[in-house]
Copies of this chain bind each other. A is one copy, B any other.
Amino acid sequence: MMKFRRSERLIDMTNYLLEHPRQLVSLTFFADRYGSAKSSISEDLAIIKETFEQRGIGTLQTVPGAAGGVKYSVKVSDDEARPFISGLCEVIASPERLLPGGYLYMTDILGDPAIVQKAGRVFASAFADADIDVVMTVATKGIPLAYAVGAYLNVPVVIVRRDSRVTEGSTVSINYVSGSAKRIQTMVLSKRSLEEGSKVLIVDDFMKAGGTVNGMISMLEEFKAHVAGIAVLVEAEKAEERLVDEYLSLVQLADVDVKEKKINVTEGNYFRHKNG
């Protein structure tokens, strides 16, 4: 069998761990992969752990014993999250984003994989130690962020739709009241896509009064599943009756003044609530 130098092992193990977040990888797996002694692998992992933690890449958790191994989790330090979130606030505050009716154009932000991945990393970091089986979102705009979070947490993503499609098989449909427009709307989820008892992290791009998120919570009840957390990229302030209490947001729209073409944007509740 081919032997690997330490430097090669460190590079390949780094790539392997980054590609397999929240998965327990046994020392034997790496020892076999490189034809190395487990003691060398242990030393490699100690170096990787130290560097990952010092450079803010993530954490490595070592699980001792015969069934043990090592598990990488995404960890974003406040020092890394802060400039990202304030950069996001700045981008969103641009007056060119104002659309008729006080809506904001955010399609370009949600279309930038680098931003979406980073936001996904930040949320995954906040929920890295939570017990989560599935990420759920509603079509369409929240989908990329939901996948980014799902990939970093190593869990599948289920997508609630507004309409039923033949390719979904049998579905469960619920009605809900959209909080801001007070309209009755429908959402639909494929029966096969969610197991009873699943612990679900709800992810969406935008939350105003919280009607859509609340609809997803009702949907979870239909499936006897549980809310493990709620993460939204942008929340609008001044929602007179917020339908949802506990959630994590990166950005808060404090004020949209269509006349003056001014958008007032502040940090969301991420830093205050991520450990609560």
Residues in A lying within 8 Å of B, measured CB to CB: 6-8, 10-12, 14-15, 18, 47-48, 50-52, 54-55, 57, 99-101, 103-108, 111-114, 116-117, 139-141, 143-144, 147-148, 150-151, 154-159, 161, 166-169, 190, 192-193
How many copies of the polypeptide does the oligomer hold? Answer: 2
Contact at B11–A167, with CB atoms within 8 Å? no
Contact at A107–B193, with CB atoms within 8 Å? yes
Tell me whether chain A's interface is mostly helix, strand or loop, or mixed: helix
**The one of B7, B106, B151 that contacts A47, using a Cβ cutoff of 8 Å:** B7
**The one of B57, B105, B156 that contacts A169, using a Cβ cutoff of 8 Å:** B105
Known contacts A12-B51, A14-B14, A139-B139; A150/B113 CB under 8 A: yes
Q: Roughly how many angstroms separate A223 CA and B2 CA in the complex, as a whole number? A: 53
Residues of B within 8 A of A108 (CB): 156, 192-193
Report the minimum CB–CB distance from A241 to chain B (whole Å).
Answer: 22
Q: Roughly how many angstroms separate A159 CA and B48 CA in the complex, as a whole number? A: 38
Contact at B147–A57, with CB atoms within 8 Å? no
Q: Roughly how many angstroms separate A157 CA and B114 CA in the complex, as a whole number? A: 11
Contact at A167–B47, with CB atoms within 8 Å? no
Report the minimum CB–CB distance from A180 to chain B (whole Å).
Answer: 12
Contact at B112–A156, with CB atoms within 8 Å? yes
Known contacts A158-B111, A159-B140; A11/B51 CB under 8 A: yes
Question: Which of A51, A99, A104, A108 is the most central at the interface, judged by chain B CB atoms within 10 Å of its CB?
Answer: A51
Report the minimum CB–CB distance from A196 to chain B (whole Å).
Answer: 16
Residues of B within 8 A of A157 (CB): 111, 113, 144
Question: Which of A50, A141, A144, A158 is the most central at the interface, judged by chain B CB atoms within 10 Å of its CB?
Answer: A144
Known contacts A6-B7, A140-B140, A167-B99; A15/B105 CB under 8 A: no
**The one of B116, B154, B193 that contacts A114, using a Cβ cutoff of 8 Å:** B154
